[in-house]
Structure 1
Amino acid sequence: DAFLETTGVSDVKSLATIAPDLNYAQVQTVVPVLTIRGISSRDTTEIGDPSVVVVTDGSSDNRPYALSGTLYDLDHISVLRGPQGAVYGRNAVGGIVEIATAKPSRTFEGRASVDLGDYATRNLEAMVNVPVNDVLQFRVAAISRRHDGY
C-alpha cells in the first residue's frame, strides 16, 4: 500500500506512531503490549490472552512475540477500536489490529529494493506475482533486515 510506504510503517510499532489511540510498549524488555484507548492486558504468558488482538489474513495471533516482525507487501492495515467479539470472537475487548497481505493477481509484476547503510545495515525486499493461467496465480514476498550493533 502506497500510504504505508510513504508514512514509513514497517511494523506494528511504527503503526502506533500514526494510528490514534494505538499504543505500543515493551515490558520485560522483549514482550510487546498493544493498547487501544487505554485497554490492554499484561498477561503475556502462553495461557493469557491479550485485550488487543492482531489478526493477519483472518487468523488471530494472540502471542505478543509475533508483533515484533517486519510487515511487507501489504494490502491494508486497519485498527478497529472497541470490543470486536461479535466479529472476531472472544478476547477482543480493546480492539483489533487487522493486517491483510497483498493477494495474487492476474498481472505479472515484481519489485525489489536494496538499502545499504552504516553499521553494516543491509535491508533487502523482493516480491514477484506470477499469473500461471486464468485460475492459478501465485505471489511470493521476502524481506531481510540486518544491522550490526554499535
Structure 2
Amino acid sequence: MLATTDELSYLVDHSECLLSVTQTDLQETVSATAKRLNRSFPILVTDADSADGGSWSAAEHAVADTVDSAAESAVGVLYTSGTTCRPKGVVISHSAYLTAGEVVAGQLRLRPDDRQLVVLPLFHGNAQYYSTMSALVTGAPRSH
C-alpha cells in the first residue's frame, strides 16, 4: 500500500494497530506514522522483491507472544476504499477467514500437494480469503 503518512496515520489509529507488516522501501513511512502517533508497535519488514520471496526481520520490536485465537475474536481489519468519505474498517474474525478458505478449498477440491500462485496484493480481501486461506486450510506447504 502506497499510503502517505497522513493516510496511514488514520488507519493505524482507527484500527488500534498492534503490528505492521511492510517491505523495506516502505518502512520509513510506517516508522514515521508510529512516531507521528506517538505509538510503539512491532514492524515486520521483508524484501518482497528478492528472488527467494524475502526474509523477515523485526525491525524495531519483538512480536507479541500471545494472540487471541478464539473463533469469533478479531484477527484483522480490512478497510474500504474511502471513495466517499474516510475508509471504514471491517472487522474480520478467525472463523470468517477459516470458513472462506474451507469453502473455496472444497469447491476447488484442493489437496495438500496442490500449489497456488497468488498474484493479487495481500492487502485485498480476495487474496486473503480465497487464495491464501484455501491453501492454508488444506495444509499446503509454502514450497517444496
Q: Which is strand-richer, 1 or 2?
A: 1
Smaller-chain TM-score range? under 0.3
- Asked which structure has the greater CA Rg, the reply is 1
TM-score by length of 2: 0.24
Q: Which is helix-richer, 1 or 2?
A: 2
